[in-house]
Amino acid sequence: MLGLASKDADVAAQFIEATRNALSTLVNRAIDLAVDFIVIAGDIYDGDWKDNKIGLFFNREMARLQRAGIPVYLLRGNHDAVSVVTKTITLPDNVFEFPTNRPGTFRIDRLKVALHGQGFVERSATENLAIGYPRREQGWFNIGVLHTSLSGREPHAPYAPCSVDDLRSRGYDYWALGHVHQFEEVSADPPVIFPGNLQGRSVREVGAKGAVLVTVGDSHVEYERIIVDGARFCEVKAMLEPHHSMIDILQMVERAGRTCADEGEGRPLAVRVRLSGHSELQSNFVVNRHQWRDEIQASLHRAHENIWLEKLEVRLSTGLQDKPSGDAHAGLDLRELVKLSDDGKELLLEAQALISSIAVKLPGGAAADESPLEVSAEALLEEAKQLLFARTEMGL
């Protein structure tokens, strides 16, 4: 949430708190519905704890379920593998964790339910864990719990790869999968479900987030999504034409923002606006980027009071051939001079060194990202060139 925090700390706080609130909301719903048990298929934590606060919070929520008589069955995924999360908080006795060195089975006798699963020892699990799961227990309802990318789910890393046929070969009645952050029904017979995560954490995770409520009858299995997210991310894409004026562009953004607000049902929204296509205002965008960002934010607020611009991405061209920049009478063509002055390698190295010096001064965690300034050095250099050309062409 660093991008939002740099713009408005109070807004960023809503999104940061939304992740914990989503878990609390799920626990509330589970207690209200008096569910028989809860399954968590990995990645409870995003990585090792800086302190015990996150562990204490999870313990508190699990203890609420304990007092309600609801057991929890969980396993470790790539983000909270044994080798990753080194700190611990003793969890209440209603929480049962699958082993990591081999598949394990938990049985709920009163329901005739058998749950089979295996967690991760290391962050990277490249072997097919599913084929090692035990065969179904006859006369019981069998649930497979697995943290996996199956045969591949971009952009998620390929962990515990396997096929749907591998899962079917176990003969289970339901597969509860983790790792992929988007909801997906992979198979209906038997149900193989990625519920997704409880709360979107970046603009790559748009739309409604939550868990899955599974109801088992004598001869059928039904499921429905339980939406628990407290804030959402949304993308607004606008394809511009040369004739579009500033008012046209802002109205396009406002209309799209209103659609996001309707789908978000009143939740706080962080919106990334992507403008592409051809526009006569291309140079104006480059030179007056901050003013445009504020105008875009204002148009989003006209759509709804709780929409916030997460980032403005501008990928525009004039639709015309590049014209010479600078003083035409002097025969100065700035674009050609830039091309001739450097092949880009030396300048790129300087830019990368400068970014590295800035990254170490960023808030904790940001410098660890591959792109601590959210864009590559190459993209920043290209933006600088476009700013130079635009300012020259506009006589600034």
Domain span at 199: 1-227
**Quick one: pLDDT band at residue 366, thresholds 50, 70, 90?**
very low
Does the pLDDT at position 367 exceed 60? no
pLDDT of residue 87: 80
Of the residues 227, 258, 274, the one at which a domain ends: 227
At CA 356, angle to CA 354 and CA 358, rounded to 5? 75
**At residue 231, does pLDDT exceed 60?**
yes
Interatomic CA distance for residues 117 and 129, integer angstroms: 9
CATH code, domain carrying 210:
3.60.21.10
In 10 A of CB 90, how many CB atoms?
Answer: 8
| CA 146 to each of CA 50, 159, 177: distance values in angstroms, whole numbers, following the listed order | 27, 10, 5
- Supply the pLDDT for residue 391: 61
Q: Please report whether residue 327 resides in a domain.
A: no
Instruction: Please tell me what DSSP assigns to residue 327.
Output: -
Instruction: Answer whether residue 150 is part of any domain.
Output: yes
Closest CA relative to residue 55, chosen from 91, 25, 84: 91
Alpha carbon distance 300, 391 (integer Å): 28
* CA angle (336, 342, 348) in 5-degree steps: 125
For the chain, give the percent of residues with pLDDT over 70. 82
Distance in angstroms (rounded) separating the CA atoms of residues 303 and 300: 5
| Selection from 227, 288, 234 nearest residue 29 by Cα | 227
Would you state the pLDDT for residue 360?
Answer: 66
Asked if residue 150 and residue 121 are part of one domain, the reply reads yes
81/186 same-domain check = yes
Does residue 296 share a domain with residue 154?
A: no
Q: Has residue 325 been placed in a domain?
A: no
Q: Let me know if 364 is exposed, middle or buried by CB neighbors in 10 A (0-12, 13-18, 19+).
A: exposed
**Is the domain of 101 the same as that of 118?**
yes
- Burial call 285-299: b when 16+ CB within 10 Å, e when fewer: bbbeeeebbebbbeb
Instruction: Kindly report the pTM of this predicted structure.
Output: 0.79
What was the pLDDT predicted at 285?
A: 87
Higher pLDDT, 174 or 12: 174
Element housing 232 (H / E): strand 232-240
Q: Do residue 257 and residue 372 come from a single domain? A: yes
**Res 371: pLDDT:** 57
- Asked whether residue 6 falls in the same domain as residue 63, the answer is yes
Residue 237's pLDDT band, with cuts at 50, 70 and 90, is very high
- Residue 383 is predicted with a pLDDT of 67
Give residue 49's identity as a one-letter amino acid code: W
Domain end marker among 227, 257, 285: 227
Cα distances (angstroms) measured from residue 337 to each of 331, 342, 385, 389: 11, 9, 11, 11
In a domain, 326, yes or no: no
- The residues that bridge with 225 in the sheet, in sequence order, are 212
Q: Is residue 275 part of a domain?
A: yes
Whether 332 shows a pLDDT value over 80: the answer reads no
**Residue 188 within any structural domain of the chain:** yes
Q: Is there a single domain that holds both residue 67 and residue 213?
A: yes
Tokens 């296509």 map to which residue?
277
Q: Specify whether 241 is located in the same domain as 223.
A: no
> Are both 193 and 276 inside the same structural domain?
no
Nearest CA among 188, 143, 132 for reference residue 39: 143
Between 219 and 139, residue with greater pLDDT = 139
For 281-325, what is each residue's pLDDT tens digit? 888 888 888 999 999 999 999 999 999 999 899 988 875 544 554
**Hey, what amino acid is at 376?**
S
Q: Could you give the C-alpha distances from 155 to 131, 158, 159, 181, 308, in angstroms and in order?
A: 24, 9, 12, 10, 25
Question: Within this chain, do residues 278 and 178 fall inside the same structural domain, yes or no?
Answer: no
Whether 148 is covered by a domain: the verdict is: yes
| Same domain for 258 and 360 | yes
For residue 132, the 8-state DSSP code is G
| Beta-sheet strand order (sheet of 232-240) | 232-240, 269-278, 307-317
Say if residue 7's pLDDT is above 80.
Answer: no
Q: Is the pLDDT reported for residue 245 higher than 50?
A: yes
pLDDT at residue 395, rounded to an integer? 57
Same domain, 263 and 313: yes
Contact 310, 233 (CB under 8 A): yes
Domain count of the chain? Answer: 2
Question: Can you tell me the mean pLDDT for 198-222?
Answer: 92
Q: Could you tell me if residue 324 is inside a domain?
A: no
Give the domain-ending residue among 179, 198, 227. Answer: 227
Is residue 378 pLDDT above 90, yes or no? no
Q: Locate 207 and state its tokens.
A: 């739309």
User: What average pLDDT score do residues 354-380 get?
Assistant: 63
